[in-house]
Structure 1
Amino acid sequence: MNLRIISFLAALLISSVCGTQYLFSAYSTKLAERLDFSSIQINTIGSAANYGVYLGKPIFGYVADNFGGKRPFFAAFIIFIGYFCLAMTYEGNLTPSFLLCAFYMFIAGMASAAGLMSSLVIVAKNVTSFRGISLGAPIALSGLSAAIFSELNNIWFQDDTYHFLLFLATSTGLCILIGSWFLIVVPPPIINRETTVVSFEEGNSSSCNHNSEIIEQNNKFEDTPLLQNKVKEEINIGGWDFINNNDAKLLAITMFFFSGAGLMYINNVGTIIKSLYFSHSSDLSVLPPIYELQNSHVFVLSIFSCLGRLSIGFISDMARLLLKIPRLTFFILSGVWIFLAQLLIIFYVDDLYKLMVVTIFVGFGFGNLYAITPIIISEWFGIKNFGSNWGIIACVPAFGGQLFNLLFGYNNDQRQRSDCLFYKKNKQ
């Protein structure tokens, strides 16, 4: 098999396990119950995984821009250690400290960022045409990680959180380790220049033109942008110029609120399901177990996030080409999906059956957001510093997610205290 294809498949394998931070809601309530963590503490643990991913992206983006793609062998061991230690803590074999649990999730997130960024850089180096599609595939697969593992949790582990966390540690570590062996930069084919000269001397103009085109393509191998736009190729804004750029600041602030609201729901949908489950008016015996509902929502979130990532690039391309609609419109639209989800959960959702609509909106909007933003960055600021620029913007959601998660945790803790006091008062 062609080495380029093998390397691309290895990138897909690694990417498919680099989005497991979105799986947290599938086991967060069990973790909180077993270790007696409050809502704020469990939200801090969930946010730590996001911090690891988002703060890791600027680091590994910079490394990718300046040193090229590297095989992420170390990421395999780090992600294994993170989830393995979390499983041992859950089982009672390690100190049940929420700060240590947050650290375990943080390093697992860092490993995910390293694996994904390395995969994207090597794919970009190996694929000189259709880069939008080739880069979109690993990005979409990373969004599908949670769906894959939540379904496996449903089928194989059901309510066995300890063994599921062990499986998560082993499978993610092995996939990144195996993929790293085959994740290589394949040099462009060497052109036989003598053949070109002979063809020219014989007057074979078609052969000469063909070989000239190949040579020209290979000369542009390292510098071909994701978007074929000669005007945009000249743009090169990075470093402090990027940080001080007003457009970049506006993009970062908007990303803070859009992604923060989305991450709040993603990290806490398990808690929301649990609250709605016990407030359900009908007989609880007719409802599926809580873990099945949690896994179902994580699965749907992941599926629609993947669909959002796959579709928005093509749709925005066609809209700009045929209707002259700028890509920024679709960035705003992604925020509209997430905002509508928040309105639905306030004014529409009053039972478990209606919550799935919110999950679909958040998943699709979040997927749109994470696919359209890097494209906008590459067009507005150039591709020479794309890894570093996207890494800087990609770390903003860690802060937005933390703020919104803390607000949710504080509100949930206050609500539980009021319900408890109300129950005691009525009992007396």
Structure 2
Amino acid sequence: MPTTTDPGTGIMRHVRLTFICVSVVTNALFAGGIFIFPLFSPALALHLKLTQPQLTTIVLAGMMGQYPFAALVGKVIDQYGPWSCSLVSAVLFSTGFGLFSSEIAKTPDNITQPSLTSFRNLTFFFFLAGLGTVFSLFSSLFAASKTFPNYLGIASGASMALFGLSPLFLSVLASNFFTDPVTGLNVTRFLKFHAMVSGCVHLVGAITLRRLPLVSEHNERCIYDPEQTAEPDERSALLPVKPPNDVEVLIVPVNEHGSLVDLLRDRNFWTLFFVALVVLGSCEMVLSNIGTIVLSLPPALSPSGTNVVDILSTDSVTSTQVRVLSLSNTISRLLVGPVADFVSPIVSYLPNGDRQYPRKHRVSRIAFLVGSTILLAGTYFWMEVGIRSQTAVWALSVGAGISYGVTFTILPSLVSSIWGLSNVGRNFGIITYAPFIGTPFFSYLYAFVSAGHTETDQGSVCKGVECWQLTFWIGFAGALVALCGSGMLWRQWKGKV
């Protein structure tokens, strides 16, 4: 009989589980530093005299830094575990944000022209921070998923929801502790703080995010860990555990050890890849450009027919839309995970190693993917025909935020259910190349369309629906094609997810 100090049972197991959960939460909350770039971009423009194209290049370097090495990060997860990614992100965050802060601090206040060297340095440092973001996200996401494999929807949804809350959490810290009512945000102090704290948080994660031992008590539920294999003993089950009487069980083959070539030959994989490209790419375009979308529209009209500029400034409308995007994204992630686990239970792992799917699914998980594409198509169509003032942009913020959150939450469980857990990090990493392609495509489409309709007397800001009309028509068409692809996957994977 094992004692309570056995790492697989009793007090020690609960202690380790607590430390893992705390590290998952803190890693996720401190992972979104690149998404609060709008907080300090005005200071960069004033202090370093950077132009808008240069600011855009810096923020895109951080956004794109998340994706190029996603498959490699996934392979690191598969090979070594989440702790290794937490360690790497600690180094990248401390280096990236720390050097970014130092570059700003050493720039004289009396410069009149932007320094090309500073611009290049800031771009590279922000790229490092973006690379640290994907290591951090994967560390928290797969630590949660591997610790709670029977609740993948809740685990992935909760960790991604916390990641979605990270910009809001960090902006609250910046506003309350690093902002002066007169001079505004002290960018260098805040970035130094973020470099130190995020580095320490992820360093602790490198210690705590180790694999959780299997439960060794024969009368306790076994928690499956794909990184471990248990040798049979006198208590091992010779036959699969009989499922509940009200659940029909069917053995469904899962390609646990499929090669990369096999994955890339799967047409269903590329269909899922395209759906993710359209949905995530176009949503990230909205996330990055919501401010200029608001600026392109006139303020709301009062009952007397006059603009209500004094009542609701453009700046407050923009910040409101950012909050609406963040909250809708986060809430959808929190809700979809548990709901998906309830209505679409995923593969169950029996003590003898068999994998079984309960057949009484209420609905396929692909239904969530279909729903997000329908919502996105409807949102873009309404953007074209119904949004004509700044305050009406909330519909775009809600629709894009929910579609983004639902899709990102459901993808890990789809990937693991169809292609197995052995290479789930690698496979999910490849899927994340979809927004790496889709985000710059939709972002530059928006930028070029907007630039083509900017009048010289308007400055650098485009005014009117023409600034984004073509962009959202193309997004609407892409969402319809993605909807067809989701429907095909629903038919192909019937009974599997």
Q: When the two structures are superposed, what TM-score results if normalisation uses the length of structure 2?
A: 0.70
Higher mean alpha-carbon deviation, 68-77 vs 368-377, is at 68-77
Indicate if the aligned counterparts of 1:236 and 1:385 stay in contact, CA closer than 8 A. yes
Residue-by-residue CA offset, 1:48-107 (whole Å, 9 max, x unaligned): 222221223211110111223334233223113323344445566294554433322221
Counting only pairs closer than 5 Å after superposition, residues 3-402 of structure 1 correspond to structure 2 as 3-28=16-41, 31=44, 35=48, 40-71=53-84, 72-90=86-104, 93=107, 95=115, 97-127=118-148, 129-156=150-177, 157=179, 159-160=184-185, 162=187, 163-188=189-214, 211=218, 213-214=219-220, 222=228, 230-233=251-254, 236-276=257-297, 282=307, 284-288=309-313, 290=315, 292-320=316-344, 324-402=362-440
Residue-by-residue CA offset, 1:250-279 (whole Å, 9 max, x unaligned): 111221121111011101112333444789
Q: Distance in 2 between matches of 1:422 and 1:215?
A: 61
Q: Distance in 1 between matches of 2:264 and 2:253?
A: 19
The structure in which a higher percent of residues are helix is 1
**Change over 3 Å in CA distance of 1:421–1:143 after alignment to 2:** closer
Aligned equivalent of 2:477: none
Residue-by-residue CA offset, 1:289-332 (whole Å, 9 max, x unaligned): 72x54443333222211222222233334444767432223213
Task: Return the letter of the residue paired with 1:74.
Answer: V
Aligned equivalent of 1:208: none
Q: Distance in 2 between matches of 1:229 and 1:141?
A: 35
Of all paired residues, the percent bearing the same amino acid is 22
Q: Distance in 2 between matches of 1:245 and 1:375?
A: 18
SS, match of residue 130 in structure 1: helix
Q: Post-superposition shift, 1:168? A: 3.9
Task: Return the letter of the residue paired with 2:401.
Answer: G
**Change over 3 Å in CA distance of 1:289–1:160 after alignment to 2:** farther
Q: When the two structures are superposed, what TM-score results if normalisation uses the length of structure 1?
A: 0.80
Query: Where does the alignment leave 5 or more consecutive residues of structure 2 unmatched?
Result: 1-13, 109-114, 231-248, 346-359, 462-497
Q: Distance in 1 between matches of 2:76 and 2:33?
A: 23
Residue-by-residue CA offset, 1:333-387 (whole Å, 9 max, x unaligned): 2123333333333333332211222111111110001011222111221221111
**Structure with greater contact order relative to length (CA < 8 Å, sep ≥ 6):** 1
1:410 aligns to 2:436 (yes or no): no
Indicate if the aligned counterparts of 2:67 and 2:436 stay in contact, CA closer than 8 A. yes
Indicate if the aligned counterparts of 1:273 and 1:294 stay in contact, CA closer than 8 A. yes
Q: Distance in 2 between matches of 1:129 and 1:76?
A: 29
**Change over 3 Å in CA distance of 1:173–1:323 after alignment to 2:** same
Q: Distance in 1 between matches of 2:87 and 2:63?
A: 21
Indicate if the aligned counterparts of 1:120 and 1:135 stay in contact, CA closer than 8 A. yes
Residues paired across the two proteins, number: 399
Q: Distance in 2 between matches of 1:279 and 1:343?
A: 21
Task: Return the letter of the residue paired with 2:68.
Answer: L
Higher mean alpha-carbon deviation, 385-394 vs 245-254, is at 245-254
Q: CA RMSD in A?
A: 3.5
